[in-house]
Chains A and B, each alone.
Chain A
Amino acid sequence: MSEIPMTYVLFVSFALFFIGAYGFLTRRNMITMLMAVELMLNAVNINFVAFNKYLFPEKGDGVFFTIFIITIAAAEAAVAIAIIINIYRKFKSIDSEDADTLKW
């Protein structure tokens, strides 16, 4: 069984990242946007793991970073959802177009 070439893995992460970016830009529902952000983060995670595996198999830095990011993503999700709930209370909507008072 031959190894999966690195480019395949990178392609998956690349696709995943832009699917996330696309989702973030086009969706207006904040929950969906949050999910899109998670997709992007996971794309980064895949990159880290892949580079670690293929380029520096003897080290573990990439994996550590991944674990870090997963933790932070969890925390971030918690904060984000808290913000979204607050926005919902204020604007009675979780549509990002409605919450445009940030400019002030």
Chain B
Amino acid sequence: MNLSFLILIPLLTLIGIMLVNGKTARVVAFVGSLLQLGLAIFLLFAYMHERGAGNVSSVLFEETHPWFSQWNINYHIGVDGISIAMILLTSVVLVGGVLVSWKMEYQSKEFFFLLVLLATGAFGFFISLDLFTQFFFFELAVVPKYLLISIWGSGKKEYAAMKLVLMLMGGSSLVLISILGVYYYSAVGGVGTFDLKKLGTIGFSHEIQMFLFPMMFVGFGVLSALFPFHTWAPDGHSSAPTAASMFLAGISMKLGGYGCLRVAMVLFPEAAHAYSPYIIILACIGILYGALVTVKQRDIKMMNAYSSVSHCGFVLLGMAMLTKTAIVGAVLQMVSHGVMTALFFAVIGMMYERTHTRMGDQMGGLLKVMPFIGTVFIIAGLTSLGLPGFSGFVAEMTVFVGSFQVQDLFHRSATIIATMSLVVTAVYILRAVGISLWGPIKNKEFELLPDATWNEKLASIILIASIILIGSMPFWISDLIAKTTETLFSAVIK
């Protein structure tokens, strides 16, 4: 199939949004995102069919067009199992995000435009095989966030938007430096290349790897909330409008994880080995410390934002463990956390819209008033704390089992420390459920609040369905990722 459709459909949607006026924009955005979801699912089946037919090349559906030929920059796209998982995630979250913002009043046309633009960047990022193109899409997925947060956000929105964009840009600049480094060092007696596939076979010298890997990993890691560069996340997530939070936590943080894994570790396997203990330490700090900080948050949106820091720590932990199972777990965690956190932000947004407060202790008894929203909140919470049957469990257990395969005390202790966060997660999730949904109704005005509208219900159902699909039948997605991991990371895996 022709992969360019994955970029083309969002682009056409963007044009469509520009052409129509006012409220129609949301319809266009919805139709576009549904088409995209359909395409992503079709892509999954096409991929599986192709693999089933015995195609063993690491990347499928490749396509190359020269872009700036004198610098050897190409529009080179293709997919493997990992990127398909990411594409599915992005399209599900996109549909959810559009549905949740259905009732957006203020400048809705611009809002949907930026939302779809963001998704375009993400799609492009996940399918690019050319570092330059990839970086281009990467930036495309970062910049609209500034506008989304500063225009439609709440709370300290200007501060948060500025901080987020500056920190992410700081990360991008590191990535850019290392991309240029890769480009120049790959030029052995000729023009350098940005092509990921070719670069993967070059094998940089040890010094170059040791020099470029940290820059690239930290650069992408900022986006994936690598401790101590995570502080953009709580402010950014909590100030952003609902759909933007969903995107930010659900997709943008995965851009970082994907970059760390698919670019940094594939290009610099030796350095990945050398630096993995440091990454593990940072990831463990992020996991446990993020969870502990979460316990103290009164603001439930802030709570989920911090919990994202903790959950994304599992992604970094899994990939730094350098075993096949752990890397598969890291990817599963990216997908699982993406859907779960999108659902969580969506439902928190619904509660905020009705109660006009984000403080858990000012709510109370909401389950009685709005059973649907309450149930969705509980489901999201249970996914977050890793209940079997939901996606979080599959991902976390894969990470744990994978990391326990490394046979020394350091890795073992890291694994055990990471498992401890499961309890802390349970504490803050149940606390949030207890104070905001259960107990007596604190505010008389809340008794009349309406339950979810059709668009909110649909969004929740789509997200919950994907959570359950991964959580109760994990073998298909785990197989999908595992096969790719084997071929892609053969140099990395211990």
Do A and B come into direct contact in the complex, CB within 8 Å? no
- B: residues with CB less than 8 A from A are none
